[in-house]
Amino acid sequence: MKELLKQIELVEQDMNKAQERAEYWLSVEPFNEDKVEEYEQKSDLLYDKLFDLVEKAADQIVRITSGRMDKQTARTMIRTKREELKRLFA
């Protein structure tokens, strides 16, 4: 679980960087459509990877709690209470 949380953070950082790069290439003159497309595609791929990692982490939380916590609540915890989760699984 600890490793999954770390992977989620790393993918989020990479996704944010890709989004920032896409926004940069949208704002500069002359507009570089190829660069924008490249970074948007990278961001989309990272989003898919992030979604898969969050799903795996949520499944683990449901399993660890023997189903007392549902998957939606687990996903919400991953998004909003990540620091607490990291302390629990340290």
Domain boundaries, the chain: 2-88
Give me the phi and psi of 28, to 5 degrees please.
-85, 155
Query: Per-10-residue mean pLDDT for the chain, 90 residues long?
Result: 94 94 86 88 95 97 94 94 88
pTM of the model: 0.84
In this prediction, residue 18 carries a pLDDT of: 92
Name the CA dihedral angle for 34, 37, 40, 45, rounded to a multiple of 10 degrees: -110
Residue-level pLDDT at 47: 96
